[in-house]
Amino acid sequence: MDHFQLKDGVLHAEDVPLVRIAEEVGTPVYVYSRATLERHARVFREALSGLDNPHIAFAVKANPNLAVLKILANEGYGADVVSGGELTRALKAGMKPEDIVFSGVGKTHAELRQGLEAGIGQFNIESEEEGYELAAIAARYGRRAACALRVNPDVDARTHEKISTGKRENKFGVPLDRATEIYARLAREEALDMRGIAVHIGSQLSTLEPLETAFAKLGKLIAELRAEGCSVTHADLGGGLGVPYKAGEELPSPAEYGAMVARVTAGWDVRLMFEPGRVIAGNAGVLLTRVIRAKRSGNGPPFVVVDAAMNDLARPAMYGAWHDFEAVEPTGATMTAHIVGPICETGDTFAMDRDCDALVAGDLAVFRTAGAYGATMASSYNSRGFVAETLVDGDRYAVVADRIAASAIMDAERVPAWLA
Ligand code: LLP
């Protein structure tokens, strides 16, 4: 459930008409709903209530906006970060260092050091090499680093190949059949506190089966590790739960996910950790855009050219992803159209042959389910600047990220004197 609803014929975010935000902030602009974020955070936590003290770390990559992180920090969420930049954001938003998990296959020396200095709760080590590097840095600073070893369970998540992370050929984690020896070796490092294992097989999963298969493999691994004399007190089950992108689409609910986890992990005797991203933020945001013009095409449907583009919302161009597209002030009339942005490549297409509300030049519309992997993946391609972000709370809203004009980006560029 989300808080983007029609009221008196106008699409609102909570109690704020989107027309108002478009007029005052301009378009394109992301609009997030505080009530929806809080609701999703609580629903996910509630879904895990059958577990003993689960640790929930929001995957910052899904939506790193400071205001969004602050809401989740207030909900008691920690953070799953994958760069020094995300770590800095999580701390700035008030997440406790001990609630922060550092994931990622390519943490640099500087980032490992930054994590140690911040006193984060856990490093999810993705290779034996990374483990030794972290051990050396920790020893130099007289610290001990709490670690989980990320394993690659070789499970097909049955999602888009570009967001599938748990197959043998993917770059993530260590192969399951080598995990025990690697874990045992790393556990001998004085400066590492090897305390658990981690897995994340992909994103936007539409069935629970692959997760269950991966978790079952993890259960076996825990038993194997303990039989080898290793201590395992934590298991990080990652994120990945999908969300509906089409009205009426049915996906496994957080409650079904929580019940499956409780069943599969019964008797593991570890603290379970989770890294949800999309399921928390996805449906808590829309991308608000204005139609520049509707352009007739040959024989086919018209091209509706909107002022948002693939640089603002990359998912359709990158993954062929579907985002529901709706008028802010629907008249009841409908049309079939190709929805495109202004960028000079054919990939800048949000939808082909889409049945949608009838729209003409100047009308406002939204791409739904843009709260996760939306603004965070924006670029300034075609010198369009960076899209603004707003947060609605009841009948008020705030700009939570300024639009960064193309000229401001240009200000960071220099023409060397020797070219003059
Ligand atoms: N943990 C790790 C280690 C991850 O790599 C990810 C996402 C998550 C947690 C959160 O997964 P979620 O619960 O959001 O599915 N840009 C793509 C999604 C990339 C996901 C990358 N990793 C998209 O727009 O669909």
Q: How far apart are CA 173 and CA 236, in angstroms?
A: 13
Structure tokens at 325: 């597209």
Q: Where in the chain is the domain with CATH 3.20.20.10?
A: 104-274
Q: Is the pLDDT of residue 398 over 90?
A: yes
User: What are the backbone dihedrals phi and psi of residue 255, each rounded to the nearest 5 degrees, phi first?
Assistant: -65, -40
The residue to mutate among 205, 261, 273, 275, having the most atoms of ligand 1 within 8 angstroms of its beta carbon, is 275
Atom 9, ligand 1: residue with shortest CA distance: 239
Contact 347, 340 (CB under 8 A): no
pLDDT one-digit tens code per residue, 341-354: 999 999 999 999 99
Specify the DSSP class assigned to residue 60.
G
Which residue is listed with tokens 């049955």?
Answer: 158
Ligand 1 pocket test: pick from 159, 203, 243, 315 the residue with the most ligand atoms within 8 Å of its Cβ. 203
In tens, the pLDDT along 134-155 reads 999 999 999 999 999 999 999 9
Ligand 1 atom closest to Cα of 278? 14
Q: What angle do CA 361, 366, 368 make, to 5 degrees?
A: 155
Does the pLDDT at position 320 exceed 80?
Answer: yes
Nearest CA to ligand 1 atom 16: 373
* Ligand 1 centroid – CA 226 distance (Å): 30
Rg (C-alpha) for the chain, rounded Å, is: 23
- Is the CB of 239 inside a 6 Å radius of any atom of ligand 1? yes
Which pLDDT score, from 0 to 100, does residue 159 have? 87
Q: What is the mean pLDDT of the chain?
A: 97
Whole-prediction pTM value? 0.97
Mean pLDDT of 14-24: 98
pLDDT > 80? residue 1: no
**Tens of pLDDT, residues 173-213:** 999 999 999 999 999 999 999 999 999 999 999 999 999 99
Predicted local confidence at residue 192, as pLDDT = 98
Ligand 1 within 6 A of CB of 204: yes
Catalytic (active site) residue 147? no
Tens digit of each residue's pLDDT (9 = 90 or more) over 238-266: 999 999 999 999 999 999 999 999 999 99
CATH 2.40.37.10 in the chain is located at 4-31+282-410
Q: To which CATH superfamily is domain 4-31+282-410 assigned?
A: Lyase, Ornithine Decarboxylase; Chain A, domain 1 (2.40.37.10)
16: confidence class by pLDDT, cuts 50, 70, 90: very high
Per-residue pLDDT reduced to its tens digit, 84-124: 999 999 999 999 999 999 999 999 999 999 999 999 999 99
Give the contacts of 112 (CB within 8 A, at least 6 positions apart): 123, 130, 133, 134, 137
Question: Cα–Cα distance between 99 and 105 in angstroms, integer?
Answer: 20
Ligand 1 atom nearest to CA at 150 = 3
Q: Is there an atom of ligand 1 within 6 Å of 124 CB? A: no
CATH match for 104-274 among 2.60.40.790, 3.30.413.10, 3.90.700.10, 3.20.20.10: 3.20.20.10
User: Do residues 55 and 46 touch, judged by C-beta distance below 8 A?
Assistant: no
Whether residue 51 is predicted with pLDDT greater than 90 in this model: the reply is yes
What mean pLDDT comes out for the span 61-69? 98
